[in-house]
């Protein structure tokens, strides 16, 4: 993990504690060329705030795509950040009840090429929130498979967010199931 802004996130009781106004990014040597991949985070927002899950993060240009989980307004937003400016692509109300603090969420973002375009699909707790085709090439070509935890949207919040699990993998992913009757 690389701290990009704010105080470093810390490991507390085998969970990742992400302070308010913090940005942490992770990528691997293999993922730096990924164009089709999935970023998945299991997290708990301890108080009402907005928390971002970023993909294709590029530090020199401060460019990324972000899934913002907005507990304050019971919605998610798909945001494109380019050269320090945010553009909201979509805002989607959370239709499956109320997003509330202290709930555990699973946020999944898949990015995949479609010709010269880029499709972004975002789920929250398995519910598809965004399916967006970005047809305009961003100012900086975003080609780095990465995941960013972004709590800079937290506003007046004071408590850290807790991250229980992170997955970052290239598609297609080959998985073999092992069951008791088929080891």
Per-residue pLDDT band for 126 (boundaries 50, 70, 90) equals very high
Q: What's the whole-model pTM score? A: 0.86
pLDDT value at residue 34: 80
Indicate the pLDDT class of residue 140, thresholds 50, 70 and 90. Answer: very low
Assigned token pair, 64: 């990324």
7-11 long-range contacts (CB < 8 A, ≥24 apart) are 9/149, 9/160, 9/163
Task: Tell me: pLDDT of 106 over 80.
Answer: yes
Token pair of 32 as six digits: 């730096």
Is residue 131's pLDDT more than 90?
A: yes
Per 3-state DSSP, the chain is made up of helix, strand and coil in percentages (nearest 5) of 0, 55, 45
Is the predicted pLDDT of residue 139 greater than 50, yes or no?
A: no
| Residue 71: burial class (beta carbons within 10 Å; 0-12, 13-18, 19+) | buried
pLDDT digits (tens, 9 = 90+) for 38-53: 999 999 887 878 888 8
pLDDT per residue as tens digits for the range 69-103: 988 889 999 998 887 788 999 999 987 777 888 88
């Amino acid at each position: 993990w690389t701290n990009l802004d704010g105080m470093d996130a810390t490991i507390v009781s085998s969970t990742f504690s992400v302070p308010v106004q913090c940005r942490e990014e992770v990528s691997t040597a293999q993922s730096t060329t990924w164009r089709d991949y999935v970023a998945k985070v299991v997290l708990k927002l301890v108080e009402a705030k907005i928390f971002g899950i970023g993909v294709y993060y590029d530090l020199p240009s401060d460019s990324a795509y972000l899934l913002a989980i907005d507990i304050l307004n019971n919605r998610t937003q798909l945001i494109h950040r380019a050269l320090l400016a945010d553009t909201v692509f979509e805002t989607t109300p959370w239709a499956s009840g109320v997003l509330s603090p202290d709930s555990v969420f699973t946020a999944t973002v898949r990015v995949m090429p479609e010709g010269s375009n880029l499709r972004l699909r975002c789920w929250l707790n398995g519910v598809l929130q965004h399916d967006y085709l970005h047809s305009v090439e961003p100012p900086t070509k975003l080609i780095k498979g990465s995941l960013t935890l972004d709590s800079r949207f937290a506003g007046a919040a004071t408590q850290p967010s807790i991250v229980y699990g992170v997955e970052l993998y290239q598609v297609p992913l080959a998985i073999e199931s092992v069951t008791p009757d088929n080891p």
